[in-house]
Amino acid sequence: MKTVFQNTVSNVSRIVVAIIIFSCLSFTFKFIADIQQEKKNASVLNAKEVKMASNELFVNETNNKKNSKEIKRSVAFQSRTSATEIECLKNEVASLKAQQEYLEEENNFLRKERDSVLSVIENANEYYGILKNTIKKASKVWISNVKLNFLKESSNGKFKETEKAKSTDVIQVAFTVNGSKISLATDKNYYIQIVDSNNNIVGKKERKDFGSMTLEYSDLLTVMYIDKDIDVKADIQTYDLNKGIYRVYIFDEKELVIKTSFELE
């Protein structure tokens, strides 16, 4: 009985071991099959990727060839265009040089004409200046024939000449205002200045300002000149003159035109 039980247990054990071994073998076979399937799938995938990469490379090469052709055509076109533009620029430069030469010739001609005109103008201005000065001098009004008379007033109101200082009541200054045929009619102011030996002004002792210059004078004689010479005189009242030398100055406005002197006893 015991032996039968032991045999039964032994058989069961073998069966269990066999089942376990079978299971392990089944798992192993399945694992190996899965690995082989994955390798197969990977190979297929790699083949597809290689094919896609090859197709993409082919497409890129095709595009590159097309682009290369386009670039070559573009370069050729630009080269032809550049050559045409360069030729046009050369022609334009040649035209501009011709215009420049023409303008330089015109400029030289105009410069000579200008120099000639300026020379004529300069000569004309010089001639005009000379003519203007000549006319100014020729038309100028001047004085001449200056005479000095020393007069004593008598009791009857008449005057007679004297040479003594104490007897002199009036110094008469006479002169002629002269002009030429081209002298214009004008009013002239002549300031007469008589100075004694002590530098004192004889007569009215009035003053006239000419800007920064002040003129002291003995008498003022205003003359209207009209196309002909005119004789004028100024009677200057004097008082208590001393003997000595007296200086007489006649000014046309502020310009000194006559200077003379006399002596009284």
pLDDT tens per residue, range 213-226: 888 998 898 888 88
Q: CB burial class (10 A; 0-12, 13-18, 19+) of residue 201?
A: middle
230: left (phi over 0), alpha (psi -120 to 50) or beta: beta
pLDDT of residue 185: 74
- Look at 5-14, 48-57, 166-175, 232-241 and tell me which has the smallest mean pLDDT: 5-14
Paired tokens of 200: 């004192």
Q: Which of 249, 227, 246 is nearest to 238 (CA)?
A: 246
Average pLDDT over residues 96-113: 85
* Percentage of the chain modeled with pLDDT above 70: 66
Average pLDDT over residues 47-76: 63
Domain 141-264, CATH number (from 3.40.50.720, 2.60.40.10, 2.40.50.100, 3.30.1490.20): 2.60.40.10
Distance CA 54, CA 45 (A): 14
Question: In Å, how far are 3, 9, 14, 18, 190 from 6, measured between CA atoms?
Answer: 5, 5, 12, 18, 183
pLDDT of residue 202: 87
Distance CA 232, CA 177 (A): 7
Distance CA 190, CA 141 (A): 12
Please, are residues 234 and 206 in contact by the beta-carbon 8 Å criterion?
A: no
pLDDT of residue 32: 64
pLDDT of residue 27: 60
Domain coordinates in residue numbering, the chain: 1-139, 141-264
Please, are residues 194 and 179 in contact by the beta-carbon 8 Å criterion?
A: no
